[in-house]
């Protein structure tokens, strides 16, 4: 496919095809034939004439074309080339088939290959905290046991344990980022979003019965269920933070209201009464009149 073939490499095939009816054609004769054939066609084209070859088409000289020489392909040659698509036919589309529908058909994703059983087991496993040093070891043990079970018969388990452990160590670090991606969205929103913390206690009882229901020693889910209690410390400190924040806010609000009330009371008590100045001036005039009773008569 998409290979550039020199026609002289095809001399053997052409010689075999041309040898029939008691006639034997050697590859050397074919090579000479090809040279003479295309030299003749080229010379004819250079004279301005066209050359017609049965089964192939007609070479014509057209100076208005891109290269000056064109090949008008024979219908039989085109049919031979398109033999792989003979089962297809041009179909007129109905109005119900819209361009959007065709685009969706073209954009339809291809079916994904069957997931690796090891990866599916790891993805189905309960959430495990990455920071815990025991979890990677438990994962490696789990992957080893499952992979060995599925890929090797039981009789070969003992022999392949050592061999299987070595290649399985390599994918283990590659799987850790997957867990990180899985845990990061859960671990980060816990301190920020309060409602997310509520379903956390619901998750706790689920993994606990699993080790009890799976008595198989090969499925070591205990180390994976252990990290979940570690999620509790992330929830506990958040609840007191809520109450502290609410109490502080209420306490500050009450304090502000009390200070405001006291200020208002002080303002009301010590505010000068309207018209007090006039009364004071009238009192002063009265006192002056009393102290100098003869003043008006002197004038």
Give the footprint of another protein on this chain (CB under 8 A): 1-8, 10, 13-15, 17-18, 20, 23, 25, 29-30, 32-34, 36-42, 44-46, 49-56, 59, 61, 67-71, 73, 77-78, 80-85, 88-93, 97, 99, 102
**Please, what is the minimum distance in Å from the beta carbon of residue 69 to another protein?**
4
Are residues 144 and 164 in contact, defined by beta-carbon separation less than 8 angstroms? yes
Would you say 57 or 223 has its CB closer to another protein? Answer: 57
Side by side, the strands of the sheet bearing 51-53 are 51-53, 57-61, 69-73
Nearer to another protein, 63 or 297 (CB): 63
C-alpha distances out from residue 43 to 32, 49, 64, 74, 165, Å: 16, 9, 20, 21, 72
Alpha-carbon distance 204 to 209, whole Å? 10
User: Least CB distance from residue 15 to another protein, whole Å?
Assistant: 8
CB closer to another protein out of 15 and 118:
15
As a dihedral over the C-alpha atoms of residue 186, residue 187, residue 191, residue 193, rounded to 10 degrees, the angle is: -10
Nearer to another protein, 10 or 196 (CB): 10
Q: How far apart are CA 96 and CA 122, in angstroms?
A: 45
Q: Least distance to another protein from the beta carbon of 109, Å?
A: 18
Question: Which of 187, 183, 141, 184 shows the shortest CA–CA distance to 165?
Answer: 141
CB of 111 vs another protein, minimal distance in Å: 20
Residue 102 Cβ vs another protein, minimum distance, rounded to whole Å: 7
d(CA 211, CA 35): 81
Phi, psi angle pair for 52, to nearest 5°: -110, 125
Distance CA 25, CA 69 (A): 31
60/140 with CB nearer another protein = 60
Give 97 or 254: the residue with its C-beta nearer to another protein. Answer: 97
- Min. distance of Cβ 94 from another protein in angstroms? 9
- The Cα 212–Cα 222 span in angstroms is 10
What token pair was written down for 141? Answer: 């043990």
**Strand 69-73 to 51-53 pairing:** unpaired
- CB closer to another protein, 42 vs 189: 42
The least distance separating another protein from the CB of residue 46, rounded to whole angstroms, comes to 5
Q: Is the CB of residue 8 less than 8 Å from the CB of residue 28?
A: no
């Amino acid at each position: 496919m998409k290979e550039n073939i020199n026609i002289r490499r095809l001399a053997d095939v052409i010689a075999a095809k041309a040898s029939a009816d008691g006639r034997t054609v050697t590859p050397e004769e074919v090579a000479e034939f090809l040279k003479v054939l295309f030299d003749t066609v080229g010379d004819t084209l250079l004279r301005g004439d066209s050359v017609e070859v049965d089964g192939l088409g007609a070479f014509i000289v057209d100076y208005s074309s891109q290269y000056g020489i064109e090949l008008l392909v024979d219908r039989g040659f085109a049919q031979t080339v398109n033999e792989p698509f003979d089962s297809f036919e041009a179909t007129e589309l109905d109005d119900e088939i819209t361009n959007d529908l065709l685009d969706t058909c073209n954009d339809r994703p291809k079916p994904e290959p069957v997931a690796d059983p090891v990866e599916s087991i790891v993805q189905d496993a309960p959430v495990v905290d990455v920071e815990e040093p025991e979890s990677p070891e438990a994962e490696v043990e789990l992957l080893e046991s499952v992979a060995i079970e599925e890929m090797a018969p039981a009789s070969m388990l003992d022999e392949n344990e050592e061999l299987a452990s070595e290649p399985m160590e390599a994918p283990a670090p590659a799987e850790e980022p997957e867990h990180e991606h899985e845990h990061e969205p859960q671990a980060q929103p816990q301190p920020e979003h309060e409602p997310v913390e509520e379903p956390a206690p619901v998750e706790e009882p689920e993994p606990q019965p699993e080790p009890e229901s799976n008595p198989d020693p090969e499925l070591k889910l205990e180390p994976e269920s252990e990290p979940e209690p570690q999620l509790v410390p992330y929830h506990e400190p958040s609840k007191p933070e809520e109450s502290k924040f609410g109490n502080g806010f209420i306490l500050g609000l009450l304090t502000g209201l009390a200070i405001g009330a006291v200020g208002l009371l002080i303002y009301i008590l010590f505010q000068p009464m309207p018209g007090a100045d006039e009364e004071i001036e009238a009192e002063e005039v009265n006192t002056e009149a009393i102290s100098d009773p003869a003043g008006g008569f002197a004038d």
